[in-house]
Amino acid sequence: MDTFSKRKYYVLAIFFGIGIIYLVKLFSLQVISSKYKESATNNVLREIIQYPARGLIYDRNGELMVINKPAYDLLVTPRELEHFDTIAFCNLAEISKEELIAGIKKAKDYSTYKPSTLVKQIPPESFAFLQEKLYKFKGFHVQLRTLREYTHPAAAHVLGYVSEVNESDITKDEYYKSGDYIGASGIEKTYEKQLRGIKGIEKQLVDVHNRIQGSYNEGAEDIPAQIGTDLVTTLDAALQHYAEALFVNKKGSVVAIEPSTGEVLALVSAPTYDPGLLVGRVRGTNYNILLEDETKPLFNRALQAKYPPGSTFKIINSLIGLQTGAINTYTRFTCNGKGSTPIRCTHSHGGSANVVEGIRESCNPFMWNAFRSVINLERKPADGFKKWREYVESFGIGTIVSSDFAHALPGDLPTIEMYNKWYGEGHWNALTVRSLAIGQGELGITPLQMANVGAIVANRGYYYPPHLVREVKGDTVSSMFKVKKYTKIDPENFEPIIEGMRELIANKLTAVAGVPGVEMCGKTGTVQNNGADHSVFTAFAPIISPKIAIFVYVENSGWGASYAAPMASLMVEKYLNDTIATSRKPIEKRMLEANMINPGQ
């Protein structure tokens, strides 16, 4: 065999080998490997997100407070669009021509192949008509969503609202994508992860024009959405509704707590608003209206208003005096002569007072002298103030009293550093900060914190962190809400304070705050203000095995006994007796009809 023949066979062998390699590779790609098959499949598949319904919200008695209703997003896929009657479409979708043009442009900038939301949260009544005509407009389709709906226009500040996510939300949690919704306040925010559920995915076949042809693989690979977890709140819906009725045309707040559990029975910030206003396509417009309202209905006074507590704070000052030994149950301070200064007594009660009488009569000179005695226990006033402050802080004042309230504030409890900055170190004493003795001055305490103080007194020295949710269906509520928190006051020191509170209701306020068949303990407060004084009242009932502790703050309404006390007593009566006695109907009528925002109307 010559050289030429050998070369021919070598060349043939090389080509044959290359052919074998190609055949093996093609076999691997087309038969064995699924990579390209998957790629081809993906070219005809679209994954449609299935949004879960949020969990329902109930009151403590099983009454539904928040449910869901269907809503629909109108989506556009730019590449599928054909010429259409824009005026007819705008009328159908209830949008302007400018909104349509801007929406389509935004969708094209995002993707010509993928759908983008054009109109959000179309209610069922509008969708029914839209659905009948939508087939005429190629490139548009709808996607089911859900909106919140409220069984009563109440508890807006407690329940909170849902809003569209922002970039910060998306960055913090990969669960969210642009266009998703998230709890923005209240329970909706605090329990967002339980309420939101888990998204699902539906795989659908589409043609080359991105038009849906049907379900892929008969839905075998679909992942159903998991609806959110239902919550049972601590609220008593009937009491909440009643409290909001009492606060119509008034500014202020009321918080009611069950002392034995820390469960919040009612929480009102007034003026309030209908939570349904912040749902659906009208949410943005309504939010701006509420935001610009001079009465500040969006401001949660129960959690964020830093009110001077006035004479209701005398409870804490008296307890500190007893605990430190600065005073005892036999200690008396005069209301006449030098003893009546620098804070005069506003009540005539015999010229002197002990601790029980000091609480019952709200005696300013007694409280000032008790406060001064506490501060002067230490050689340096600043050291005595530091000890006083530690006792106050043990009541949850100046701190976030519970983690169950979105946006709650710690309030203002003055510090040594603050007074040193104002007056200079060593240049201030009890006299300088004497307003603290009667709950004024630099104190700023939220109604939630003061209601918790009422629960502490009812429990004789301890509290459970106040909370709004008693049950997460299929899960557990944080165990921290079941742990007692003790103040620095011994139980026996509460008894004279409680007696003074009992005598106030039984001997002085029976006509306006006495609840038939219930022995209630209370303390009034009148908070000085640039305008009309604020009316304040704290109470608990019954005296044995208390079931409710309450704090009421009515702005610009005068003495504590004028509005806050009767309103609190009506709530206690409603909760404990389930009805208002006939003899008390005139008081109820006066409270319901009082207008403290526009008194002349």
Kindly state whether residues 165 and 287 are assigned to the same domain: no
Domain contains 22: no
Kindly state whether residues 227 and 295 are assigned to the same domain: no
Please report which confidence band the pLDDT of residue 220 belongs to, taking 50, 70 and 90 as the band edges: confident
* Averaged confidence pLDDT in the chain: 90
CATH number at residue 348: 3.40.710.10
CATH number at residue 56: 3.90.1310.10
Instruction: Please give the pLDDT value at position 480.
Output: 83
DSSP 103-114: HHHHHHHH-SSS
Q: What is the pLDDT of residues 117-159, one digit of tens each?
A: 899 888 888 888 888 888 888 888 888 888 999 999 999 999 9
The helix/strand/coil state of 351 is coil
Q: Are 574 and 244 in contact (CB under 8 A)?
A: no
Q: What's the domain count of the chain?
A: 2
Pick the last residue of a domain from 200, 233, 266: 233
Question: What are the CA-CA distances from residue 230 to residues 127, 190, 265 (Å)?
Answer: 27, 14, 19
Q: What is the pLDDT of residues 525-577, one digit of tens each?
A: 999 887 789 999 999 999 999 999 999 999 999 899 999 999 999 999 999 99
Kindly state whether residues 419 and 527 are assigned to the same domain: yes
Q: Are 574 and 246 in contact (CB under 8 A)?
A: no
Kindly state whether residues 316 and 436 are assigned to the same domain: yes
For 92, the domain range is 49-208+215-233
Can you say whether residue 441 is alpha, beta or left, with left for phi > 0 and alpha for psi between -120 and 50 degrees? Answer: left
Residues paired with 204 in a beta bridge: 46, 215
Kindly state whether residues 444 and 527 are assigned to the same domain: yes
The helix/strand/coil state of 485 is strand
Of 152, 159, 151, 149, the C-alpha closest to 186 is: 159
Residue in this structure with the two tokens 């919040």, named with its chain if needed: 264
Q: What is the pLDDT of residues 274-289, one digit of tens each?
A: 999 999 888 889 999 9
Kindly state whether residues 194 and 56 are assigned to the same domain: yes
Domain contains 31: no
Q: How far apart are CA 452 and CA 411, in angstroms?
A: 14
Kindly state whether residues 386 and 470 are assigned to the same domain: yes
Kindly state whether residues 125 and 155 are assigned to the same domain: yes
Kindly state whether residues 538 and 584 are assigned to the same domain: yes
Domain contains 550: yes
Q: For Cα atoms 493, 496, 500, give the angle at the middle one, nearest 5 degrees.
A: 145
Instruction: Please give the pLDDT value at position 5.
Output: 60
Sequence-ordered list of residues with C-beta below 8 angstroms from that of 182, at least 6 positions apart, any chain: 162, 163, 164, 165, 169, 176, 189, 192, 196
Q: How far apart are CA 553 and CA 540, in angstroms?
A: 15
Q: How far apart are CA 239 and CA 59, in angstroms?
A: 11
Of 384, 379, 380, 362, the C-alpha closest to 318 is: 362
How many percent of the chain have pLDDT more than 70? 90
Kindly state whether residues 180 and 259 are assigned to the same domain: no
Kindly state whether residues 296 and 150 are assigned to the same domain: no
How many percent of the chain have pLDDT more than 90? 68
Domain contains 17: no
DSSP 246-286: HTTT--EEEEEEETTTTEEEEEEEES---GGGGSGGGHHHH
- CA Rg value for the chain: 34
Of 422, 417, 434, 304, the C-alpha closest to 373 is: 434
Kindly state whether residues 397 and 435 are assigned to the same domain: yes
Domain contains 600: no
pTM of the model: 0.88
Q: What is the pLDDT of residues 16-51, one digit of tens each?
A: 767 677 676 666 655 555 444 444 444 567 677 888
Domain contains 43: no
